[in-house]
Amino acid sequence: MRVTYEPGGMLAIVAETGIAVLENGLPQDRIDDVWQALDDGEGVEAVIDAVRQAFGDSETPPPFAVAVAEGEDVRAAVRGDLRLEIETISGSVVLSDEGGSDPTGRRFEDALSVLVRPAAAAPATTSELPIASGAVLARSVRAVFFEVDPADADHVPGDTLLPDDAGEGDDAFAETIVVPPRRTRGEHAADSAARDDALGGSEEEPQGDHDGATISAAQLAAARAGDHDGATIAVAHEPAIWAPESPAAPPRTYGRIRLSTGEVAELDRPVVIGRRPRSSRTTGAELPRLLAVESPQNDISRNHVEISSDGHTVVVTDLHTTNGTTLLRGGADPVRLHPGEQTVVVTGDVIDLGDDVTVAFEELP
């Protein structure tokens, strides 16, 4: 999640899983309680309870807004004169207080970002500042939960340059070469000399070996002394032209995973598995491979786990799933992975995603 804010007068509390925007004036310990409820990742109800307690369980608490990631969904709630603008894959949705003692809330399965600002305020006009975690005074707060996958973007093809469009080259820099006409068999020397004079003369050919096969007496003596075929040379005279080849480095292995559905994937880049996986990373070599699995009971979250390898270690991260992920290792009790934390796996390990979908690890580094 990426959060930015426009400086102002409201209290904005930010943690890894969501944001809460309240009236300013809470004591430090109450701010800490709301932040802890966000950071624990226990859902929007836990955050709303912390907000109510922060204001003394008043029947009419001051205005507040909360947006929290719950697995692959985003739940938002608002009370009072605040406004939540939710950008989803299918369009924009505005959430505002509908009256009553309870805040107005809603779950979004395809939310990308949430903007919180006063209902009567105009959109931000100054630069928004980033914040990773903590509390700041803000006029508006924007939380980006998911980036749009590049595969979903419209592709606009560029102009194709055809050979005819390339144009003609610039002849100003071309080199002009005059090749003397080749003497044909039977041509008289006088005719050839006259033609050479017309072209500006010719170079004199070196005198000596008339047919390229005549050798001198000294060369003949040298041949008789040892070189039987004219191509033999002494080892001392042979240049060292061949350097010993270095042994090729063994290819780096990243390991692979085998799903109970039959799919196999190499771990040469990160892999995200889920019911409807998508990635918050949009570019670069680390763009993950997305593997979708069926989950009739919805036990598996849309983004359930991420698996990555650096060539030395393979780690699994539960992506704050609703129903969790279990590590099965031979000779040990099943272990439920802690959301958001990397867990090292070894060859033979299996993770259970739910709905009878498992992932086995093979030939890990």
Give mean pLDDT, residues 65-77: 90
Q: What is the band of 42 on the pLDDT scale with cuts at 50, 70, 90?
A: confident
Tally of CB atoms within 10 A around 286:
10
pTM over 0.85: no
Q: What is the pLDDT of residue 270?
A: 93
Q: How far apart are CA 240 and CA 336, in angstroms?
A: 63
Q: How far apart are CA 33 and CA 309, in angstroms?
A: 37
Tally of CB atoms within 10 A around 8:
19
Please report the domains of the chain, with CATH numbers, ordered by start residue. 2-146 (no CATH), 256-362 (2.60.200.20)
Q: How far is CA 247 from CA 244, 250, 253, 254, in A?
A: 9, 9, 18, 21
Tally of CB atoms within 10 A around 358:
15
DSSP secondary structure code for residue 53 in this structure: H
| Mean model confidence pLDDT for the chain | 77
Q: How far apart are CA 125 and CA 119, in angstroms?
A: 16
Q: What is the pLDDT of residue 189?
A: 45
Q: Let me know the angle formed at the C-alpha of 20 by 15 and 25, rounded to the nearest 5 degrees.
A: 110
**320-329 per-position pLDDT tens digit:** 888 999 999 9
**Which residues have C-beta within 8 Å of that of residue 303, sequence separation ≥ 6?**
71, 72, 272, 274, 277, 278, 319
**224-250 per-position pLDDT tens digit:** 455 555 555 554 444 544 455 666 666
Q: How far apart are CA 105 and CA 77, in angstroms?
A: 4
Give mean pLDDT, residues 1-20: 93
Which tokens go with 232?
């033999």
Q: How far apart are CA 309 and CA 288, in angstroms?
A: 11
Q: What is the pLDDT of residue 155?
A: 42
**89-130 per-position pLDDT tens digit:** 888 999 988 666 678 889 998 899 999 999 877 666 678 899
Q: What is the pLDDT of residue 59?
A: 65
- Flag whether pLDDT at 362 surpasses 90: yes
Tally of CB atoms within 10 A around 19:
25
